[in-house]
Amino acid sequence: MLRLLGTLLTLIVIVLFVFFTSRNPDLVTIDYYFGEYAMPVAIIVVGSLFTGAMLGIFMSFAFIVKTRRNMKKLKRKIHTTEQEVSNLRNLPIRDSH
Residue 55 pLDDT grade (very low, low, confident, very high; cuts 50, 70, 90): very high
Query: For the chain, what are the domain ranges?
Result: 2-90
CA atoms of 24 and 36, how far apart (whole Å)? 20
Question: What residue spans of the chain are helical by DSSP H?
Answer: 2-23, 41-90
- In percent, the amount of the chain with pLDDT more than 90 equals 43
Prediction pTM value: 0.55
Residue 82 pLDDT grade (very low, low, confident, very high; cuts 50, 70, 90): very high
Any idea what DSSP says for residue 40?
E
